[in-house]
Amino acid sequence: MMKNMMLDAQVTPNGLKDRMLLLSALDIILSPEDWLRTYRMQSEWSGDVCLGEVNNGAGDTIHMLWTCGGVLLKGFDHESPVSPHARDEYEVWPGMYDGVPDDMMELLEDEALEKEDVTFCMWREAGDKEWSMGNTNFPEGYDDGSSFLLGKIIATPEEYQDWAESYYELPISLGVVSQIFNGVPITAQMISALHPQRNVTEAIKELKQLGVQVHES
C-alpha cells in the first residue's frame, strides 16, 4: 500500500467540490447533530472562499479551501510520525508549505484551521493540470496519512452506502444514494427514505443553506 499519495490529476478542484457537497448533503440527512457529521461545507466561509472539512471524530482531519485561484487541502493524521506532536521540537515538518500560493497561505493563518496541525498539504491553482505538494523529505516508512485520509473522500454510491451503514448503524438505500451522487435534486421522499426519523423541514433548510438542489414538493 502506498503510504504517501497525491490526488489523481483527473480529480479537478470543481469535481472535488461537487463531491464534498454531495457527501455533506448526505451527512445532513443522516445526522441531525452537526458535531457527529464527517463531511461539512461552508460555501461562504470567508468572502468568496468555500471551506470543506472531513473529520473522522478521532483527531484526523482534512481542511479544504476553494478560492477564485484554486483549492488547497491540509490534512492531519494525529498518529503520523510526520505530525508536529510526534517531533521533539514540535514544529511543522520542513518543506510542508513550500510553494503554497500566498493567497492560500494567508487563509491558513485563521485559528480555526490550525495551521500547525498538518501531516500533508496539496493544492491546485486554476489552470494547473495536476496537484502540487511542498518539498518534504520523509524517512523510509514514514506515513503522512494522505492515503488514509484522502480515501475518506468517497467516490462511489456503493462505497458511501457501506461506510454510512457502519458509521450510522442504519440501513441505507443504495438507490437514493446513487440518485444524490448523480445530481438528482433532493426531495422530502428521498430524505425520509434515507432516514425515516429525520425532521424533513429542518433537513431541507440545511440543504438549501449548503447550496444543493432541493425539490420540496
pLDDT for the residue numbered 4: 61
Amino acid at 135: N
Alpha-carbon distance values, 133 to 26, 48, 61, 104, 185 (Å): 30, 24, 18, 13, 36
pLDDT for the residue numbered 46: 86
pLDDT for the residue numbered 7: 84
Mind listing the pLDDT tens digit of every residue in the chain (217 residues)?
A: 344 667 888 889 999 999 999 999 999 999 999 999 999 999 889 888 999 999 999 999 999 999 999 999 999 999 999 999 998 888 999 999 999 999 999 999 999 999 999 999 999 999 999 999 999 999 998 999 999 999 999 999 999 999 999 999 999 999 999 999 999 999 999 999 999 999 999 999 999 999 999 998 6
Alpha-carbon distance values, 1 to 39, 145, 146 (Å): 25, 12, 12
pLDDT for the residue numbered 9: 80
Q: How far apart are CA 126 and CA 93, in angstroms?
A: 27
Q: What are phi and psi of 26, to 5 degrees?
A: -65, -40
Q: What is the 3-state secondary structure (H, E, C) of the chain?
A: CCCCCCCCCCCCHHHHHHHHHHHHHHHHHHCCCHHHCCEEEEEEEECCEEEEEEECCCCCEEEEEEECCEEEEEEECCCCCCCHHHCCCCCCCCCCCCCCCHHHHHHCCCHHHCCCCCCEEEEEECCCCCCEECCCCCCCCCCCCHHHHHCCCCCCHHHHHHHHHHHHCCCCCHHHHHHHHCCCCEEHHHHHHHCCCCCHHHHHHHHHHHCCCEECC
Determine the length of the chain.
217
Cell of 22: 454531495
Q: How far apart are CA 189 and CA 191, in angstroms?
A: 5
pLDDT for the residue numbered 217: 65
| Domain edges within the chain | 13-209
CA 25: distance to chain centroid? 12
pLDDT for the residue numbered 43: 87
